[in-house]
Amino acid sequence: MMEWTDRHCRYFLRQLSHHSLLYTEMVTTAALLHGDPGRLLQFDPAEHPVALQLGGSEPDALAESARLGEAHGYDEINLNLGCPSSRVQSGRFGACLMAEPERVAACVTAMTRAVAVPVSVKTRIGIDAQDTYEHLYRFVDRIAQAGCLTFIVHARKAILKGLSPRENRSIPPLRYEYVYRLKQDFPELEIILNGGVTSLDDAVARLAQVDGVMLGREAYHNPWLLADVDERFFNDSRSQPTRSGVMLRMLPYIERELQAGAELKHITRHMLGLFQGVPGARVWRRQLSQYGPVAGAGTEVVLAALEAVAEVSARDNATAGILHHHA
C-alpha cells in the first residue's frame, strides 16, 4: 500500500468507519532516522486508532523508529515482513526477512523493549521454497518468543525472484488453511488474516477461524465497503454515513490542508472509488481527475462533482420512474 494509505487517505477512510484500525504506508527506518520524521509521522488525531508500519532490519534503528512513532501518538507499531518488491529486498527488509528468523526476533525484541504500545508483525505464509506450514509455524513461534503477540498474515507466499509485487498478490495461491492452523496452534496469539477478502460477508466467514481480517486494496478501490463495518463488527449502530455526507465532512479538512500548502489532487485521488457501483461513479471520477490537478483547485471542485453525481442520480431515478409507469 506504499503511496496509497497516506494521512489524507486515512482521514478520508475514518469518515466511513470510526473503529477500524488504520495502517500507515510502510515507512523505512532510514527515512525516519535520516529524514524529516515530523513530516513522515504527521497525522490527524481523528485518525485514531492508527498503526505505524515500519520497514527495516536493524534492531537499534527499528527500536529508535518505534520510539519516534510512540512519541508521535501512534497506537501500534507494525513491522513489515510481507513486501516482496526488489527495491525492498535490496534494502534487506520486507518479505525476504522471513529467511532470517533470528534477525527478526532480535528486531522484535528491541522494538517491544523500546515502546509501551503493542508491536505487531505483518508477514506472508512463506517465501520461495520455504513454503511449508512447518516453516511458518517455526517462524511464528520464534517471533512470538521475542515478544510479538499479533500477527497479520497474508495467506500467500512471496516469490522473491521472477514475480513483480503485483503478480505476488495474485499468482501464489491463497492458503487460508495455513492461517487457520496458526490460530489453532497458537490460541494465545492474535492472528489476523489478510489477502483475497473482497466483501464483509467474506470477512464474517473468515472470522469464525481467526481474530481479525485486514482489508487492503479492496477497501481502497471500493471505500464504501467500510460504511457497514462499525455496525456489523463493532456493534455501533450510529446512523450510517451517506456518500455525499462523507464528502461534506471532508470539506473543512480539505480547506485546512490547502491553506497549509497541500494540493487538491493529493487529497482527492484517494476518493475516486467512493461512488463505485452506483449511478454517477464515472462522472465523479472524471470530475475529480480532470479538475483536481488544476493549479489553485479548491473545494469547489468537490462540490461541483457532487452536484454532477446528484444530476446523474436524479436522471436515472426519473428514467426508472418512467419505465415503472410503462410496466
Residue 125: predicted pLDDT: 97
Q: What pLDDT band is residue 279 in, cutting at 50, 70 and 90? A: very high
Q: Is 187 exposed, middle or buried (0-12, 13-18, 19+ CB in 10 A)?
A: exposed
Residues 97 and 146: their CA atoms lie apart, in Å, by 15
Contact 14, 40 (CB under 8 A): no
* Average pLDDT score over residue span 297-319: 88
Query: Which part of the chain is CATH 1.20.120.1460?
Result: 243-326
Please list, residue by residue across 64-89, b when 16 or more beta carbons sit within 10 angstroms of its beta carbon and e when fewer do.
bbbebbbeeebbbbbbbbbbbbeebb
Residues contacting 285, CB < 8 A, separation 6+: 272, 273, 275
Residues 143 and 122: their CA atoms lie apart, in Å, by 11
Q: Which of 197, 223, 202, 260 has the alpha carbon at shortest distance from 14?
A: 223
Residue 241: predicted pLDDT: 84
Q: 11: helix, coil or strand?
A: helix
Q: What pLDDT band is residue 89 in, cutting at 50, 70 and 90? A: low
Residue 84: predicted pLDDT: 80
pLDDT tens by residue, 71-87: 999 999 999 998 887 66
What CATH number does domain 7-234 carry, 3.30.200.20, 3.20.20.70, 3.40.50.300, 3.90.76.10? Answer: 3.20.20.70
**148 a catalytic residue:** no
pLDDT tens by residue, 159-182: 988 888 888 888 889 999 999 999
Q: 148: helix, coil or strand?
A: coil
The pLDDT > 70 percentage for the chain reads 94
Q: What is the dihedral of CA 23, 84, 197, 137, to 10 degrees?
A: -100
Query: Which part of the chain is CATH 3.20.20.70?
Result: 7-234
Residue 318: predicted pLDDT: 59
Q: Which CATH architecture has domain 243-326?
A: Up-down Bundle (1.20)
pLDDT tens by residue, 191-245: 999 999 999 999 999 999 999 999 999 999 999 999 999 999 999 988 778 999 9
Kindly name the residue from 83, 96, 107, 148 that is annotated as catalytic. 83
From 29-43, 44-58, 103-117, 234-248, the region with the lowest mean pLDDT:
234-248
* Reduced 3-state DSSP string for 225-273: HHHHHHHHHHCCCCCCCCHHHHHHHHHHHHHHHHHCCCCHHHHHHHHCC
* pLDDT higher than 60, residue 22: yes
Residues 263 and 201: their CA atoms lie apart, in Å, by 37
Whole-number average pLDDT of the chain:
93
* pLDDT higher than 80, residue 290: yes
pTM: 0.93
- Whether a cis peptide bond, with omega within 30° of 0, leads into 49 is yes
* pLDDT higher than 60, residue 61: yes
Q: Which of 139, 128, 122 has the alpha carbon at shortest distance from 96?
A: 128
* Average pLDDT score over residue span 309-319: 80
Phi first, then psi: give them for residue 171, nearest 5 degrees. -75, -50
